[in-house]
Structure 1
Amino acid sequence: MHIQKKTTLLVALLVVLGALVLWFSMKPAATKPSAAGAVPVKVVSVVEKDVPRFASGIGTVLSLHSVVIRPQVDGILTKLAVKEGQLVKKGDLLATIDDRSIRASLDQARAQLGESQAQLAVAQVNLKRYKALSVDDGVSKQTYDQQQALVNQLKATAQGNQAAIDSAQVQLSYTQIRSPVTGRVGIRNVDEGNFLRTSDAEGLFTVTQIDPIAVEFSLPQQMLPTLQRLIAAPDQALVKAYIGADGATGELLGEGRLSLIDNQVNTSTGTLRAKAEFDNAAQRLWPGQLVTLKIQTAIDKAALVVPPTVVQRGLEQPFVYRVVGDKVESVPVEMVYQDSDQHIIKGVNAGDQLVSDGQSRLKPGTSIQVLGDPPAVAKAGQAKP
């Protein structure tokens, strides 16, 4: 009986020991307490790099040449030589107009010229004869003068006939409508067989140049000195066009060069119009399209760059918190350039560790605990539903 009690007690002790071992093995490791009063913060390093500066604006894509194709003579449209949306080159045949009436007029003018030239030839022979006879008073001076006047008259008639021929040839050339520019054919307004008039305001269709293409935009008048400097520079300023209202997130459509600024400021809006030209072989820019432009106005060499969240606004000037050991110090800085993505500052050194998050609880000399980003596995686990 005594042995049985010992055995039972031993089993109970083993069970308790097993439970304790299991509990200690499953107990989470104790987190090392941070230093008393330390403020958790995130930090970034000051980066030194070349930073281009940009000015932004909203612009409208414009064709450098857009022509409404209209008839220059009345007649029936006999042929359309191009299709809607087709790319054509300058001088390509676009359409033809019935030319039979003009050709008949041309033939008539040529016949009249031949008749005038024959009459002129006879009159010139008679004039030469009268001139020889007038020496011996074979004909009167009056007869000679009349013959001279007839020759002059027939010369003028022949010139008029030649002018009629030239006019008819010009009219005949108008029956073949050729493209005045290289571009893209738009939607047509008439079909073959329609009677065209020169007074038709609508025209047959348009031919619009697509490549190269321009973008017109407006900037505040305060940008005038900068634009004048860019225009006068040996190399034209780089201009980037994006789709959408935000160039930072929009899709890049093309890169071009600043070409000109307007000769006056719009007094009602206080803005100045400017234009940039783009190579557009891929036809990503389209006439009438609204785009966001970013114009490179300068490049800061070896600039000290930090995220916008680093810089704090002080009463007198901006400042940053720089990490020194396990504490921070306040460093006044000068803002050189800023945008939504980054700030260029002076007053710190490349590689300095600056506080980017958690500044609200800081003051000079405050102890800090630098926080790192969550592990990648944890981030992936959090992203799962």
Structure 2
Amino acid sequence: MRRSRPRWLVYVLVIAGLLAVALVARWLATGGAAKNAKAGRPPAAVAVASVEVGDMPETVNEIGTVTPIDTATVHSQLSGYVMGILFKEGQMVTQGQPIVQVDQRPYDLALAQAQGTLAKDSSTLVSAKLDLKRYQTLSLQDSVARQTLDTQRATVGQLEGTIAADRAAVGTARLNIQYSTIKAPFTGRIGLKQVSVGSYVTPSDTSGVAVVTRIDPIDVVFSLPQADLASVQRKAGTAQGLPVTILDQDNKTVLAHGKFSTFDNQIDTTTGTVKAKARVANPATAGATGEKAPLLFPNQFVNVTMLVDTLHQVTIVPVSALRHGAQGDFVFVVQPDKTVKIRVVRMGPSDGVHTAILSGLSKGETVVSEGADGLDDGSAVRLPEGKGKGGSHRKQGGADAQ
């Protein structure tokens, strides 16, 4: 019969096996790596940049919607047939410029009728006043009844009221003649026509005859996080205000410049943002066809860049030098022995090319700007030829130029 091994011996063998596995893993992680380094593993090739000191603009970048200051659907104020369209679709119109002519003839006749009624009633009033004067003379001679005199006074008063109504009717008729020529309510750009010659228009038409929008200046509405509300309000109250730049959807072409105008009066609780408005100049410029047109159109989506503040004389590194990990934001700082050391930093605002570093770096230090993938604390690196410590100069017109 086979004898079983003692239980304690089994435990010893298991523990010994586990220790052997751990030792092998440790050798692979440390001894093996050191062995590979000693075997001549080449340092990683990297690009480097010098830590500089300069000014960094603090901006707010949001998506906005172009909104005209005034938009009016122009309606006819009387009924009649359209006799003429006096505008070209899409053209710029000035305040008071005729845009549609409604048939004026019925209103000319109404004015003539009102003037005739006024003339007739005016003549009757003159006669009544003469009779009143005679009755007053006879009353002094006790030759006419008191009641007759009072009745004549009342007749004159009634006729004077009739004359006032007649004059109002004449004024209304003249006003209707003015209304027969529909005019632009303000200076702006007119849209597509909603009526044609021969159409019958009334004041109740929902579409009106055309839509006019004020385009210069024009507003841009965008949303700001409520966390930025205090800083924007503080800077907006200064005499300089907050400059705003409007760019196209590709965020490349500048369309207009303006200034921050105001906030909405409440925060949207669903998004935690507040609506803001900037007012910008939007003059009509000549296009490829030679016709003048504004660059910004109502309801157009644009990118809004608002300069809130400028940090002066702060350390600056390229955006590509920043890394992110469990320890937070960090960079690889190149040491004199051409190894790198992890340095945790506190990031500030960025202009898209460079980032301000609020703490963790000093001017003149060298950081890895490219090729940092695979590097670790203490890794050896190979610097570009001719750059013992490397350098990166910010181009004029970047953040310093702001």
TM-score range, shorter-chain basis? 0.7 to 0.9
How does 1:1-385 map onto structure 2 within 5 Å? 38-244=43-249, 247=251, 250-281=252-283, 282=285, 283-313=294-324, 318-327=329-338, 328-338=340-350, 340-345=352-357, 346-359=359-372, 360-364=374-378, 367-372=380-385
Matches of 2:360 and 2:261, distance apart in 1: 38
Tell me if the contact between 1:241 and 1:291 (Cα under 8 Å) persists in the aligned partners: yes
Deviation track 1:114-165 (CA, whole Å, cap 9, x = no partner) reads 1111111121122122222212312121111011101101100100101111
Q: Secondary structure at the match of 2:197?
A: coil
Alignment-mate amino acid for residue 383 of structure 2? V
Sort the Cα spacing of 1:116 and 1:285 in 2 relative to 1 into closer, same or farther, 3 A.
same
Deviation track 1:5-53 (CA, whole Å, cap 9, x = no partner) reads xxxxxxxxxxxxxxxxxxxxxxxxxxxxxx9875543210122222211
Deviation track 1:227-262 (CA, whole Å, cap 9, x = no partner) reads 322432222211222222x63xx3222222111111
Q: Secondary structure at the match of 1:148?
A: helix
Tell me if the contact between 1:183 and 1:211 (Cα under 8 Å) persists in the aligned partners: yes
Give 1:82 deviation, angstroms: 1.1
| TM-score, normalised by the number of residues in structure 1 | 0.80
| TM-score, normalised by the number of residues in structure 2 | 0.77
Matches of 1:373 and 1:178, distance apart in 2: 73
Sort the Cα spacing of 1:60 and 1:318 in 2 relative to 1 into closer, same or farther, 3 A.
closer
Alignment-mate amino acid for residue 268 of structure 2? N
Matches of 1:356 and 1:80, distance apart in 2: 65
Matches of 2:375 and 2:74, distance apart in 1: 71
Deviates more, 1:327-336 or 1:189-198: 327-336
Alignment correspondent of 2:5: none
Tell me if the contact between 1:308 and 1:340 (Cα under 8 Å) persists in the aligned partners: yes
Q: Secondary structure at the match of 2:46?
A: strand
Matches of 1:143 and 1:280, distance apart in 2: 74
RMSD between aligned alpha carbons?
2.4
Matches of 1:170 and 1:204, distance apart in 2: 19
Q: Secondary structure at the match of 1:79?
A: strand
Alignment-mate amino acid for residue 258 of structure 2? G
Matches of 1:357 and 1:190, distance apart in 2: 64
Tell me if the contact between 1:242 and 1:252 (Cα under 8 Å) persists in the aligned partners: yes
What is the aligned residue count?
Answer: 336
Q: Which runs of 5+ in 1 are unaligned?
A: 1-34, 375-385
Sort the Cα spacing of 1:119 and 1:215 in 2 relative to 1 into closer, same or farther, 3 A.
same
Deviation track 1:301-340 (CA, whole Å, cap 9, x = no partner) reads 1222111232344655544333343344554433233464
Deviates more, 1:345-354 or 1:145-154: 345-354
Sort the Cα spacing of 1:36 and 1:186 in 2 relative to 1 into closer, same or farther, 3 A.
closer
Tell me if the contact between 1:227 and 1:261 (Cα under 8 Å) persists in the aligned partners: no
Matches of 2:385 and 2:85, distance apart in 1: 70
Alignment-mate amino acid for residue 342 of structure 1? H
Tell me if the contact between 2:57 and 2:351 (Cα under 8 Å) persists in the aligned partners: no
Alignment-mate amino acid for residue 63 of structure 2? I
Give 1:97 deviation, angstroms: 0.8
Matches of 2:239 and 2:279, distance apart in 1: 16
Matches of 1:106 and 1:91, distance apart in 2: 23
Q: Secondary structure at the match of 1:156?
A: helix
